[in-house]
Structure 1
């Protein structure tokens, strides 16, 4: 197996619903000595591209469309290439299209050059992720699993060859994934987590979008206890 996983952890501030949070993000670089796929870049494109080095970025895969990912995704996709035709394709689930359009629409409104503003308004991901879609890199496959709840278009990505599940902000170690402990649709998120974990091998590594890695077995054992979070949210 030539494919390997490298991790870059970056940090910054993310504003959701007028509240600012300090966030650490795990970016995963999957590939070999020649080509890579970048999963969930955020905050610091330079640090991520330093780890990529001279390797070619074949795709940039976003597990959700939150702003801290979008603000660096173009720079990572470009990877130093000035010609846009040579940029890596950006992949996002269509369920987060509103988040994408809101972010780049806001940039367009702030842009003074009308041609640049028009380009930002018309910008779309190159690939719309779908449940069951597969990416190949080196000798590994990355299968997309739609896991809505954290955002409508949240996905997780599994690689049987690498023995890992990239869970994004759907699932963190010891808890459902969130930004600052805030859940938009926790019931839906818990359903996604339960359906995701049940059929998977218990020893499968889980690499989340924030925090330390865990295993499917550890999180499956905790899953039922998280129902109280949903009930508390309903009470509020």
Structure 2
């Protein structure tokens, strides 16, 4: 098996509900010497594409539809190709379609050229992710698991061959994932995390979109203790 995982750390500011947060993001590049899939690009497309190099980007997977991902996703999908027909497909869960439409709709309203504005309004992901869907790259499979809560369409990506879970902002080391400590629907997110972790091998590596790596066993052991956070979040 020639597949490998490479990581690019980028940082920037993200505004949610009129509050600005400083965010550091892990982008993962999965593939071999010829082809890759990019998971969760954010903030700095140039740094990500520098790591990709001359390899072909076969798909760009977004584990949620928050703005820091959408702001670079077209540039990463294009990977220097001017002809849109040669761009890599962008994949997002349909439940985050509103986040997508809000972001590109806002760009369209700021665009002076009406043709460009129309193009932005008509943009859609090329692939709607579904629970159980599978992508293949370099002879390994990447399986999609829907984990709503952080956003309605949040997903995680599991590769049994690589022994890894890409947990996006659903799950971080030692805590449920968040942007600046703010949660969209923590109860639903915790339910998703519990259902996700319970059947997984305890030594499975967890690679989140923020922070350090961990294992499924470590986070499964912590999961019940997070219930107090959910109660406080609803009080």
TM-score by length of 1: 0.99
Instruction: Output one character per residue of 1:116-150: Cα deviation in whole Å (capped at 9) or x when no partner.
Output: 00000000000000000000000110000000000
Q: Distance in 1 between matches of 2:234 and 2:151?
A: 18
Instruction: Output one character per residue of 1:161-214: Cα deviation in whole Å (capped at 9) or x when no partner.
Output: 000000000000000000000011000000000000000000000000100000
What secondary structure does 1:143 align onto?
Answer: strand
Moved over 6 A (4+): none
Q: Distance in 2 between matches of 1:137 and 1:234?
A: 41
Does residue 227 of the first structure (1) align with residue 209 of the second (2)? no
- Give the superposition deviation at 1:234: 1.4
What secondary structure does 2:23 align onto?
Answer: strand
Q: Distance in 2 between matches of 1:106 and 1:232?
A: 34
- Give the superposition deviation at 1:156: 0.2
Q: What is the Cα-based RMSD across aligned positions, in Å? A: 0.3
Q: Distance in 2 between matches of 1:8 and 1:145?
A: 23
Residues 81-160 of structure 1: pairs in structure 2 closer than 5 A? 81-160=81-160
Tell me what 2:196 maps to. 196
Q: Distance in 1 between matches of 2:143 and 2:94?
A: 16
Alignment gaps of 5+ in structure 2: none
Does residue 65 of the first structure (1) align with residue 61 of the second (2)? no
Does residue 56 of the first structure (1) align with residue 53 of the second (2)? no
Alignment gaps of 5+ in structure 1: none
Tell me what 2:75 maps to. 75
Tell me what 1:161 maps to. 161
TM-score by length of 2: 1.00
- Paired residues, what number? 235
Q: Distance in 1 between matches of 2:231 and 2:53?
A: 47
- Give the superposition deviation at 1:223: 0.1
Residues 12-27 of structure 1: pairs in structure 2 closer than 5 A? 12-27=12-27
What secondary structure does 1:179 align onto?
Answer: coil
